[in-house]
A and B are shown apart, each in its own frame.
Chain A
Amino acid sequence: MVTLYYFIFLFPLIAFPVEYVIGNYKSRYSGIFSSLMIILSLITVLDAYYYLSSHAFIYSHYQWFYNIDVGIYIDRLTLVMALMVTSVSLLINIFAMFYMKDDPRKNVYFAETSLFITGMLGLVVASNLVLFFLFWEIVGLCSYLLIGFWFFKPNAAAAAKKAFIVTRIGDLLFMIGMAVIYTTLLKLNPSSPLSIPYLITNASHISAIIGPNVLALAALLLFSGAIAKSAQFPLHVWLPDSMEGPTTVSALIHAATMVTAGIYLVARLYPLYEFAAPYTLYVVTLIGAFTAFYAGILAIVMNDIKRVLAYSTISQLGYMLTAVGLSGIIGYSGVAFGMYHLVVHAVFKALLFMSAAVILLGLLELRDIKQMGGLFKRMPATAILILIGSLTLAAIPPTAGYFSKGQIINGAYEYFINSGNIIPWLLLIFGEILTATYIFRMYFLVFLGKPRSEIAANARDPKLIYLTPLMILAFLSLTLGYIQKPFYKYLYSSVNVYTPPLIIELIPVAFSITGIVIAYIIYRYTVYKNIDIHENILYRAIKNKFYFDKLYTQYIAERVILPLSHIFGAGDKDFDRGIDGFGEELSILGGKLRKIETGYMTYYVVFLVIGISVIFLIVELLGMIN
């Protein structure tokens, strides 16, 4: 029964309307049903895991429009992803039942998150790029709805709009990429040119027929969609703003459901990238490594606790993308490294965000870390949980982050040995210093010293029972490192685990510790207080995110797009008037036609006889011509 596995994404889909309706009557119970459905989905995924132990893949599809089939394709890569999405979003959902318990619209929240998870699971198992894109759009739509969940806050509404519009740019390029693939492959495989299993199994054949450069064009266009969705440079601007939504939504977006979709897309279609022209994967590597470094710089100066975490997500996604890109030289190992870091990242980022949610609950949504301080004594449980998360993020040895990120950096070193290109490795290890610095700067400012505001002085830990999902995640962050090698082997049998010279291997750890020390110095000597935004030009540039947001909104949007749209809008007005006039004319014509309908029978019969005769005359004449 292969069709059973459709329920991987159908279960959460069922929860969507049910939660929406239930909440109107039994608001107290909302959240339970959606959690239940995610559990069922998780069980289905586990069943697929057992099925895959004796089969290579699961593939089932139905014909949709003409030559577009819809269905599911599940192999080990899919399975790893689906397992991560279901389990992490389950924990977040359970925690959200506590976090959102006083919100009057919480049933809507759970309905929308169910749809969000449906979209993510759907795109993970989709067997066709069109279906993939549909779910991709559902994810985009839900991110809009959820980021703007507190739409009465103007910031939230604006952030939702920004996320929607920026990811839309990527979607457009993605669609163009699909069109390129469709038109070039229509002759090659007329029955279903956009089927994912077809694309990934015949990549070398496709490349030989249509040429590596055309394939590179298509692959890079698809990659643009991934850039927008995974918030990579230069389309990263939406992710930090998305912090205006509920914090559990941020956890979902950052850990489980949205930003990883872009990485998954590249990993899923990796054979296309492999057989495309070599510069394709080099572009992927460069964008990833640069983003990892660049977002790290920005995170150092942020004072909003959630924004620090947001930039850290962008940076970590950069690491994953770099790893996938490295595969151009080191083979499938790169994809495996990237996927492993994706899973580990999902775990510790969910942990960090939910801990942040606990802090924000205690501090009544005060998000400025300069006003916190001294929370270690007041919220010890949260402090320990967040410390575990931070250590994992900074890749300090026994945690899972050390294994996952260390292996990516080793892979980058191997890449350097084989290709002579040192840029990725350098960017990544300097990224390590930045990572440790920004996360521990945040940690020290929040937890050490004395409270710097009234609210912070009165914060308390919630009941420990509510922190259970966080404890599970913390436990996983500490222990997940031990499945590193089995994980790689499960994904691809050809993965090599690299062990560079000891001195090289120790550099990342040393850099991380250096970062922590720098963070402590910044904190101890209150350097952060002395830099004035108006004086230091570098600080000002970083604080303004290198003016990218300004470039997009003030220059591109306001000076280019708006005038253009005014120009077109002028034409539109005439068009509107034309349409209105057309409609009015039609109505008048219709009014005249209606007069035929007099209600008198004799009139009807006369009309009928004349009508039939005239039509037959015409038909007869036409028939004679033929």
Chain B
Amino acid sequence: MNYEYFYSIIVLGISGFISLAIGIKNNNKKILAGFTSLALIVSFLLVLAGTKNYNILTMSFNSFDSYWALIFIASTLLIIVPAMNDIKGRYDVFYALTLFMTLSMLIAAFTYNLIVLFVSFEGVSVITYVLVAFNRTRRNLEGSLKYFIISTLGTSFNILGISFFYLATKTFDLFSVGKIFYSEGLLLALVFIIIGFGFKLAIFPMQQWAIDTYDGAPNSISAFLSTGGKILAYMILLKILYLGFVHDYNYVFYFFSILGILTMTYGNLSALSQNNLKRIFAYSSVAQAGYMVLVFALIGFSYFPANVIPKSTFIRFGIASAMFYAVVYIFMQGGAYIAMNLIKKDKIMIEDLDGLSKKSRLSAFSLWIFMLSLTGIPLTGGFLAKYFLFFSLIVGGLWWLAVIAILNSVISVFYYFRIILNSYVSESDNEFNLAPSVKYPLFATAAITIALGVLFFIYTYLIGIAAI
């Protein structure tokens, strides 16, 4: 057996234990953060260098999987340095936990076995329960408790769904279901699995925990939950829906087109009258998930037997746009949460941003970039992500979904631009936390967000590897 494909995963595990070992002697956050970043970068490079097109046990190591693995590593890397500001206490434990969490996510990225997917997904969930409550303030604990209880509900849905799947197909492997035909049991499995992972994705009726938890968690953990954690569930659903159910389940289409519209409308409307900044971003992340699940509606639409457009092409477009949206989303949404470290309060209201541009022009500019990108204004990554998404919808014949999504983007302008307005126009003598560990990750993230708005040709590459 060839172990070299697992190096990127093994590195993370070993580094987690080393990080704990460093913590026995001293609890210096700079050393630990540096070490963790290094371990993540090494793992990133190993994934990049890893041999492609290799299947072993239940794992697969092709470009598609590596792409998601890279996204997950980036989503963790994003919060390592900002976490130095808002995490207090045992840094060694904190960084070891993030490393183990990334390890879990990598396994999820490389596997196609439902049991392994489930276990790695739960691995991430359990660690995030701890991370949300890490500072042990009252808000942390409340958020963590709600998160824990609702997630457990989701886990039970998952277990049931996977059991039904096994009963219907006699396998856990997603690759081998292609031969199985339609059955009621499989339909039931589909329903339960979608609900189960939908909890983490925070789509419409399952979104309520997210608002409280993102608000209560430390800023960098909110950043992770709304990016890495969400994208993980998104990727798992993408794999399951694309591979696991290749029959005419047009239910998927109805389900996700309704849910997508409800989710984004709910998120955008609720954010309008909100004044708590972290809650605004929480609603915005709900709305963004609403845009993203439209890809599933597209996949479901392709199951219609009456559909004459060749399925393979527009599904490829759809999956490629999902992949692009995921990477852009991580940086813009994560960046917005990281920017909250600028404010020295626990409960962050929108007025606390007043006068930011006077104190630090570049920080205000970075925040501005994230808002523009979340709205979908050209020359930012968010624009291209939305463009490709709507483009694939229109190519697939779902133009009316694209129109609804665009109308929703228009609504979102109201609250995103309010944030820009507050940070640029209003005069105030607020104090801001402008430590280098707050500022520079912010600038880097903003730079990446802009760069993604220019790297349009990635999409062509993604269409190439979107075959799974």
Contacts and interface: CB of A to CB of B under 8 A. Distances in A.
A586 B272 CA distance: 7
Contacts of B460: 62-63
Contact of B146 (A65, A601, A610): A601
A252 B250 CA distance: 62
A617 B4 CA distance: 49
A596 B456 CA distance: 40
Contacts of B391: 66
Nearest to B255: A619
A583 interface: yes
A420 interface: no
Contacts of B209: 604
A590 B273 contact: yes
Contacts of B414: 583, 586-587
A284 B165 CA distance: 73
B446 to A, nearest CB: 13
A604 B254 contact: no
B78 interface: no
A618 interface: yes
Interface string A593-621: 11011010100110110111001101110
Contacts of A618: 254, 258
Contacts of B273: 587-588, 590-591, 594
A593 B211 contact: no
B411 interface: yes
A65 B456 contact: yes
Nearest to A605: B153
B258 A615 contact: yes
A589 interface: yes
Contacts of B153: 605, 608
**Which of B250, B304, B414, B460 counts the most chain A CB atoms within 10 A?**
B414
B424 interface: no
Nearest to B206: A608
Contacts of A590: 268-274
B251 A587 contact: no
B258 A619 contact: yes
A608 to B, nearest CB: 5
A64 interface: yes
Given A583-B414, A601-B146, A626-B250, A607 B208 contact: yes
A618 B209 CA distance: 24
A615 B146 contact: no
A536 B97 CA distance: 90
A591 B272 CA distance: 8
Contacts, number: 86
Contacts of A589: 269
Contact of B255 (A583, A591, A601, A615): A615
A234 interface: no
Interface string B128-154: 000000000000000000100110010
Nearest to A621: B254
A623 B304 CA distance: 11
Interface string B292-316: 0000000000001000000000000
Interface in A562-594: 583, 586-591, 593-594
Contacts of A615: 204-205, 255, 258-259
A599 B271 contact: no
A537 interface: no
B205 A594 contact: no
B46 interface: no
B195 interface: yes
B195 A594 contact: no
A622 interface: yes
Contacts of A599: 212
A64 B454 CA distance: 10
Contacts of B272: 583, 586-587, 590-591
Contact of A64 (B146, B149, B266, B456): B456
Interface string A156-188: 000000000000000000000000000000000
A604 B255 contact: no
A611 B205 contact: yes
Contacts of A612: 195, 205-206
B54 interface: no
Contact of A608 (B146, B205, B212, B304): B205
Interface in A28-64: 62-64
Interface in B374-405: 387, 391
B348 interface: no
B191 interface: yes
Contacts of A66: 391
A80 B411 CA distance: 50
Contacts of B268: 590
A63 B204 contact: no
Given A62-B457, A64-B456, A64-B457, A597 B269 contact: no
A346 to B, nearest CB: 31
B133 to A, nearest CB: 16
Nearest to B248: A626
A597 B210 CA distance: 10
B411 A604 contact: no
**Which of A63, A610, A623 counts the most chain B CB atoms within 10 A?**
A623
Contacts of A591: 272-273
A396 to B, nearest CB: 50
Contacts of B255: 615-616, 619
Contacts of A596: 208
B205 A593 contact: no
Interface in A551-567: none
B251 A619 contact: yes
Given A64-B456, A586-B269, A618-B258, A597 B146 contact: no
Nearest to A594: B270
Contacts of B456: 62-65
A129 to B, nearest CB: 17
Contacts of B146: 601, 604
Interface in A63-81: 63-66
B411 A586 contact: yes
A586 B265 CA distance: 11
Nearest to A70: B456
A604 to B, nearest CB: 5
A164 B307 CA distance: 50
Contacts of A610: 205
A66 B387 CA distance: 11
Interface in B147-184: 149-150, 153
A594 B212 CA distance: 12
Contacts of B211: 597
A461 to B, nearest CB: 42
Interface string A183-212: 000000000000000000000000000000
Interface in A219-251: none
Contacts of B254: 618-619, 622-623
A616 B146 CA distance: 25
Nearest to B154: A608
A569 to B, nearest CB: 22
A253 B200 CA distance: 57
B440 to A, nearest CB: 15
A596 B211 CA distance: 11
Nearest to B457: A62
Contacts of A593: 266, 269-270
Interface of B: 146, 149-150, 153, 191, 195, 204-206, 208-209, 211-212, 250-251, 254-255, 258-259, 266, 268-274, 304, 387, 391, 411, 414, 456-457, 460
10 contacts: A65-B456, A587-B273, A587-B414, A590-B270, A590-B272, A597-B208, A597-B270, A607-B208, A615-B259, A618-B254
Given A601-B150, A611-B206, 15 more contacts: A62-B457, A65-B387, A586-B411, A588-B273, A590-B270, A590-B271, A590-B274, A591-B272, A593-B270, A608-B150, A608-B153, A612-B206, A615-B258, A623-B250, A623-B251
Interface of A: 62-66, 583, 586-591, 593-594, 596-597, 599, 601, 604-605, 607-608, 610-612, 615-616, 618-620, 622-623, 626
